[in-house]
Amino acid sequence: MTISVTKEFRSVYGPVKSWRYGRSLGIDPIGKISTCSFNCVYCQLGEIETKTATRQVFIPTTKIIADLQTFNLDDLDVITISGSGEPTLAFNLGEIIVAIKEITDKPVIVLTNGTLLSDPEVRKQLSLADRVAVKLDGVSEGMVQRIDRPVAGIELKNILAGIKTFRQGFPGFMGIQTMILTPWDDNKKRAYIDAIESISPDEVQLNTPSRPKPLKHQLEGRGNHSSAAERSYPVITFRQVDPQFIKTFGNEITSLTGIKCVFRPS
């Protein structure tokens, strides 16, 4: 007789070493099935399993807090809500942030793709975070369709409008995170700088894909994948953009907008 053992889902993982935030404990409000309103070509979770822009409670707040209480929170720099997809899809995001803040004063960061920011309730819940990093990978509808592959009905113009409205009402620290897959021409760079100027974030983070994409969804993709030697599943790796291009573009953004630009140290 075969006895199958179902491993219990852990909604808290890490700490993950983040070049930007230090020792970061991850909170996953989404769960075992990857769920997102994007399906980015480079997503480290693998192909997104449920593509949706509809919010729901995936993991009860009580489960997240019970998992969190099994960790030593003193040994961390930040707590990051991200996980197996888009965290603003979690209807209880605001409740989760409030509950985390009741047990620790470590900064709470949310990483979001920004697609739901036109919803006032999402903006209200997200505003409870200390820091928010919003993804902006494309400066044209075509780029967003090719790179981020959103669910039907999500368009760049609405994403940008939502980001700007959120920015105006958010008292915390806001970054824009951009994944650059190939060097951009002058038109793209100009359009991006214009977008950044109109959003006016506290900082811009320029990235190039450093983590592999599993062919099939792997829960491990929430954090740093293990090394190639230890990995038991096939992945796609991406060619990275020349760090010099990223650095030069970052300096250009800062000199034209006055906004700080950070990139992964090479």
Q: Interface with ligand SF4 by CB under 6 A: which residues?
A: 36, 38-40, 43, 45, 48, 85-86, 113, 135
Q: For ligand SF4, which is the closer residue by CB, 36 or 257?
A: 36
Q: For ligand SF4, which is the closer residue by CB, 43 or 68?
A: 43
State how far the alpha carbon of 253 is from the alpha carbons of 40, 73, 79, 188, 265, in Å.
24, 36, 29, 12, 18
CB 88 within 8 A of CB 159: no
Q: In what helix (H) or strand (E) does residue 249 lie, and over which residues does it extend?
A: helix 243-257
In the complex, minimum distance from the CB of residue 258 to ligand SF4, in angstroms, rounded to a whole number: 28
Nearest to 51 by CA among 36, 31, 73: 36
Cβ burial, residue 57 (10 Å; 0-12/13-18/19+): middle
Q: Backbone phi, then psi, for 144, in 5-degree steps?
A: -65, -40
In the complex, minimum distance from the CB of residue 248 to ligand SF4, in angstroms, rounded to a whole number: 25
Q: For ligand SF4, which is the closer residue by CB, 48 or 79?
A: 48
Six-digit token string for 167: 């920015």
In the complex, minimum distance from the CB of residue 265 to ligand SF4, in angstroms, rounded to a whole number: 21
Give bridge partners of residue 112 from the DSSP assignment: 134
In the complex, minimum distance from the CB of residue 222 to ligand SF4, in angstroms, rounded to a whole number: 9
Q: For ligand SF4, which is the closer residue by CB, 205 or 257?
A: 205
C-alpha–C-alpha distance, residues 247 and 262, integer Å? 9
In the complex, minimum distance from the CB of residue 210 to ligand SF4, in angstroms, rounded to a whole number: 13
Q: Backbone phi, then psi, for 203, in 5-degree steps?
A: -155, 165
Q: For ligand SF4, which is the closer residue by CB, 45 or 176?
A: 45
Q: For ligand SF4, which is the closer residue by CB, 43 or 108?
A: 43
Helices (H) and strands (E) in the chain, counts: 7, 12
In the complex, minimum distance from the CB of residue 51 to ligand SF4, in angstroms, rounded to a whole number: 9
Q: For ligand SF4, which is the closer residue by CB, 40 or 129?
A: 40
C-alpha–C-alpha distance, residues 37 and 22, integer Å? 27
In the complex, minimum distance from the CB of residue 84 to ligand SF4, in angstroms, rounded to a whole number: 8
């808290």: which residue's tokens?
Answer: 12
